[in-house]
Amino acid sequence: MLKTRRVRNLSVKTKKSPTIQARKAIIPSSVKSKSTKFDFGNRVLSEILGGEKQVPSVSKYEFVKEIGEGAQGAVFLGHQLSEFGIKKRIAIKVIKDEYGEKEIKKIVREAKLLELLTQGSIVEMLALESLPVSRKSNKKVYLLIEELIDGQSLEKLMMLHKRKNLLMNPALIGFTLYRAALALDEAHNLKNRKGEKLNLVHRSLSPSNILYNDNGGIVKLSDFGMATMDDSSLSADKLKGKPQYMAPEQFQAKNKPCSDIWALGVIGYEALTGFVPYQIKGKTLSEATSMFVEQSHYTLRSPAEILATSKSHYQLNKLSEIIMNCLNINGHKRPSADDLQHSLASEFLYSSGLGPTNKTMAAYLNLVKEMPVQDDFVVSDIKMSESVTNTLNRTLHIKKPISAICARVSKSFKNEFLISIKAKHKNPCLKPDNGRVYGA
């Protein structure tokens, strides 16, 4: 017999397929009207609901399988179940119990701000539910219900390229940064109902929370509301997240809109070259800060100084310049998200007409997925559909897409950079300073 225990408006099945009864559904007051056009709506409110604006929801959440785990908790593929058996695929994040009421309140506050965003490039937060760990304990487990992006993260995409001895296409790196900058522009300039700027900041952008829908090629940012939980950890010298993507000011526990721009610069640099610009590790904030300060005394090579140039419709030097502008140590000199997306669009992606679209990204993602490891195939053996070929031809301006993708191999670096790698320099992205090499 399947046991069910009820806690506040939640019910949880304790065997096999656990489901969680949703909280009450809200019927907005805007549907209430004296107009005869809304006779049925008025009857629903007055007769069927008895004047109540809240009714118990029949929706439930069902766990299917775990699909990932990070510093803040585990992520499950789930279903939202309706009364007539309709299943909507969702993501359920179970937040680690080390986070308390204070951190959860921050998530709730930020989730309410995210409701004001309309751009559509940020993963939607659908609900936040709580469930007692046991009847004898006051502890709760918190469940974050989010839109499911059926695809992969940029982190996994870069790992896939590395495994196949490839580097990502520059135009699609630019397209990814462009879409991310559009989302950040709206967030950074978000205003409350009084017209006051809120300066909403992501705080911990990395390749793992830039997501692609494989079929639609849509780029979205995730974990916008989650990053706020780790703010208090910085002052306590506890390092959470990925320090190699942290902006200089964040090592001083300061989060600003320009911090997100720095993170995008690091992401673009890594996707283009295969290397993060600053090699930062350490278990504490002070250790990571020390490593960054030491490396910041050296001059960083630009992607254009690392990669061997090849004939392409898209100018690698221009993308390299845009990325380096994002990596200015002085936050005030970095471009805003608005400036960044305009530069990427007008100076790089669409300067000569048609450029990458969501359809281009979807075609590229599926092509790379199907390609075997480079040593195991001949280019002429790979078959592409006419639709994929035409999409990549028109928007990437390349006659032979597969050959062009294969040309972006991990060994296409300039000699000077290769010498640094072979010499096992601690960070080959840094130029020697008067013959002195970082870490030597």
> Residue 405 belongs to a domain with what CATH number?
1.10.510.10
Instruction: Answer yes or no: do 143 and 156 share one domain.
Output: no
Residue 40 within any structural domain of the chain: no
Residue 334 within any structural domain of the chain: yes
pLDDT tens-digit map of 318-361: 999 999 999 999 999 999 999 999 999 999 999 887 889 999 99
Instruction: Answer yes or no: do 179 and 83 share one domain.
Output: no
Instruction: Answer yes or no: do 156 and 143 share one domain.
Output: no
Residue 259 belongs to what domain range?
151-422
Instruction: Answer yes or no: do 143 and 258 share one domain.
Output: no
* Closest to 274 measured CA to CA, from 154, 161, 405: 161
Instruction: Answer yes or no: do 77 and 206 share one domain.
Output: no
CB 396 within 8 A of CB 169: yes
> Residue 12 belongs to a domain with what CATH number?
3.30.200.20
Instruction: Answer yes or no: do 327 and 292 share one domain.
Output: yes
- Higher-pLDDT residue of 45, 346: 346
Residue 433 within any structural domain of the chain: no
Instruction: Answer yes or no: do 83 and 181 share one domain.
Output: no
Residue 345 within any structural domain of the chain: yes
Instruction: Answer yes or no: do 357 and 235 share one domain.
Output: yes
Residue 437 within any structural domain of the chain: no
Instruction: Answer yes or no: do 229 and 309 share one domain.
Output: yes
Query: How far apart are the C-alpha atoms of 198 and 238, rounded to whole Å?
Result: 27
Domain stop point among 122, 147, 172 = 147
Q: Write the CA distances from 395 to 172, 175, 313, 329, 401, integer angstroms.
A: 10, 11, 10, 34, 11
The domain total for the chain is 2
Query: How far apart are the C-alpha atoms of 349 and 328, rounded to whole Å?
Result: 22
Predicted structure pTM score: 0.82
> CB atoms < 10 A from the CB of 368, how many?
17
Residue 374 within any structural domain of the chain: yes
Query: How far apart are the C-alpha atoms of 310 and 258, rounded to whole Å?
Result: 32
Residue 39 within any structural domain of the chain: no
Instruction: Answer yes or no: do 386 and 399 share one domain.
Output: yes
Residue 44 within any structural domain of the chain: no
Domain stop point among 113, 147, 181 = 147
pLDDT tens-digit map of 18-31: 454 544 444 444 44
Instruction: Answer yes or no: do 206 and 116 share one domain.
Output: no
Instruction: Answer yes or no: do 227 and 78 share one domain.
Output: no
Domain stop point among 81, 112, 147 = 147
Range name among 93-102, 165-174, 343-352 with the lowest pLDDT average:
93-102
Instruction: Identify the band that residue 36 occupies on the pLDDT scale cut at 50, 70 and 90.
Output: low
